[in-house]
């Protein structure tokens, strides 16, 4: 019985990390219990992880599709997010956070509906993020951000992933990043270059 050597060639898009100083290499298992099986989690997604259990979690975010006023209970979001429906959403840490139903029937955008408004005017292009609790001041990041997903992965059983801990990322090439994340990961520089 001999050693079988295989070569796999893949083509990627434009690089997103021009400088990589430190990566928490594989061995993290992606928590797919809150993701749709087979969905791709894009490189640059905000990640939290537990070093003892070696489980990594992705912070779900969605880009607002069109402006919503401060009394809105329906928010249009761009397709391509990781939400499945039933999650709690917020637009600001310390702000309102409420459970949302998700309607994916429109071809151009998806719609979050909450029972109580998030209470602030939201501009197209802003980011909604998953929050762990419901309440008027309960808005918080679902996971403590520790880095960014180093390579895209597909949600599935026992999928491993690596997380960038220190380096530079081209922010315009990754999923939206809530403002609170940037202060939580001071060793990552969010470059505005392309």
Q: Look-up: residue for tokens 């409420």?
A: 98
Q: Look-up: residue for tokens 């520790």?
A: 146
Residue 113 confidence (pLDDT):
97
**85-133 per-position pLDDT tens digit:** 999 999 999 999 999 999 999 999 999 999 999 999 999 999 999 999 9
- Which uninterrupted H or E stretch holds 178? none
Secondary structure (3-state) at 95: coil
**51-66 per-position pLDDT tens digit:** 999 999 999 999 999 9
Tokens of 166: 């220190």
Torsion of CA 140, 166, 41, 162, to 10 degrees: -120
Residue 6 confidence (pLDDT):
53
Tokens of 139: 């808005």
Sequence-ordered list of residues with C-beta below 8 angstroms from that of 64, at least 6 positions apart, any chain: 75, 76, 77, 78, 122, 123, 124, 125, 126, 127, 128
Average pLDDT on 166-193 reads 96
Residue 43 confidence (pLDDT):
96
How far from 61 is each of 1, 24, 68, 124, 194, CA to CA, in Å?
48, 22, 17, 14, 21
């Amino acid at each position: 019985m001999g050693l079988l050597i295989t070569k796999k060639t893949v083509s990627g898009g434009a690089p997103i990390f021009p400088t990589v100083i430190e990566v928490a290499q594989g061995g993290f298992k992606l928590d797919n219990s809150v993701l749709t099986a087979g969905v791709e989690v894009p490189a640059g997604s905000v990640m939290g992880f537990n070093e003892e259990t070696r489980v990594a979690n992705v912070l779900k975010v969605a880009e607002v599709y069109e402006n919503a006023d401060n009394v809105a209970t329906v928010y249009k979001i761009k397709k391509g997010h990781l939400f499945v429906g039933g999650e709690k959403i917020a637009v600001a840490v310390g702000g309102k956070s409420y459970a949302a139903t998700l309607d994916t029937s429109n071809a151009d955008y998806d719609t979050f509906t909450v029972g109580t408004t998030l209470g602030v005017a939201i501009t197209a292009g802003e980011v909604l993020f998953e929050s762990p609790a419901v309440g008027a001041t309960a808005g918080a990041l679902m996971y403590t951000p520790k880095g960014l997903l180093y390579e895209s992965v597909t949600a599935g059983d026992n999928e491993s992933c690596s997380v960038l801990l220190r380096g530079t990322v081209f922010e315009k090439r990754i999923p939206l990043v809530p403002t609170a994340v940037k202060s939580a990961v001071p060793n990552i520089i969010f470059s505005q270059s392309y």
